[in-house]
Amino acid sequence: MDQIRIRGGLRLQGRLQISGAKNAALALMPAALLTDEPLTLRNLPRLADVDTCGHLLNQLGVSTHIEGARPDSFGRVLTLRAGRITSTTAPYDIVRRMRASILVLGPLLAREGLATVSRPGGCAIGNRPIDLHLKGLEALGATIELDRGYVRATASRGLSGARITFPTVSVGATENVLMAAVLAKGMTVIENAAREPEIVDLARCLVAMGARIDGIGTERLEVEGVSRLHGATYRVMPDRIETGSYACAAAITGGDVLLVGAERETMGATLQALAEAGVELLPEPEGLRVRRRNGLAGISVQTAPYPGFPTDMQAQVMALVTVAEGASILTETIFENRYMHVPELARMGADITVRGRSAFIRGVGRLTGAPVMATDLRASMSLVIAGLAAEGETLVRRVYHLDRGYERLEEKLAGVGADIERIAGDG
């Protein structure tokens, strides 16, 4: 199993390319199931999860063609074509590796009237039930059966529009129901829809394919079903979580880094939290420049659905404020088990106390390198960020988590001055 070795204490400086958004790509790719014409996605990140999604779509009959696959380049152009669906079953051996696989359920059901999808796996950060996905599809006329770990959905007479009100905000359920609704007969209204920028990206792509959607970016989506969608070419949005992660990496080292391709528009709450900690993200023609005004200051942040502070940035910001002056409080409201990085940061000298859903961080003068174990995707990045500032050597194990969500991380960080390398096997 690979490891990443970091020798900390170096100031990051230079240009770092931001990739296409993982969470957007994993919703856009299943949209190819909604049409028999090609869907071309540009700026697609090179990630293990994206590859897994591609393998799943291949099993369903989708052909994939990749351009721009040079080993020295970032991002790719992927053309998907579901000319004929050859299978409506998403098997356990693929779905267990990636929770976003559940997003083939809505498109398969809308186009074929039948879908059988294994209940999903993914990072062990807490309970993420799919009941809202299923209730939303049932409201559109699907019959749902749960059998030995699989979800079997049927709609022999097709789907029909409905009014759907989610009791709680769910990104995945909004995406699944939205993709199903675009081919349903009549009007569908989705109330309390998630508003994440990745959902906006999906909705805009669907519109480019011929869907009729009003209220994009709001909590009320109105979808007038159409009989068919056509192909399209669409560019995946920049990854706002990757942007925030590398901003934390630059800031903890006192660096000056231009995040090429980054956009401010989707990062309001993250920008506010970083600004309160003493970090500037300044707009430039090519992206955002990260600088630290002086020292880092303690902050108080609570995760929340968009436009609130994203849960996917909690661990990275925690790593940043471990060396801030004063105390910080981070409260996690989305997932109940998202503090698994705390013991690993403590091994590096961080002073963190967890009480219920809140973590209390008292800034320390310095961190010290240590062997640490990654537990999930964003926790992995928090350990890398801490390692960049720590004295001595940090070894991060289980880096396959990082490969799921950060495109060629060690290469990007080395390009701005980090002493970082991947060690094959157990080193």
DSSP class of residue 324 equals: S
Q: What is the DSSP string of 207-234?
A: HHTT-EEE-TTSSEEEEE--S----EEE
Structure tokens at 9: 């204490």
* CB-based contact 339:330 (threshold 8 Å): no
- Hey, is 68 helix, strand or coil? coil
* CB-based contact 34:183 (threshold 8 Å): yes
* CB-based contact 380:400 (threshold 8 Å): no
Residue with tokens 């401010």: 264
Question: Could you tell me the sign of the dihedral formed by the alpha carbons of 9, 13, 18, 19, in that order?
Answer: negative
Closest CA to 117 of 136, 96, 132: 96
Query: At residue 294, what is the residue type?
Result: N
Largest CA distance in the chain: 65
The alpha-helical segments, DSSP class H, found in 256-363 are: 268-276, 314-321, 342-347
Structure tokens at 140: 């559109």
Task: Verify whether residue 123 is a known catalytic residue.
Answer: yes
Closest CA to 234 of 427, 43, 414: 43
Say how far apart CA 411 and CA 302 lie, in whole Å.
32
On the CB side of 251, CA atoms within 13 Å amount to 35
Instruction: Tell me the catalytic residues.
Output: 123
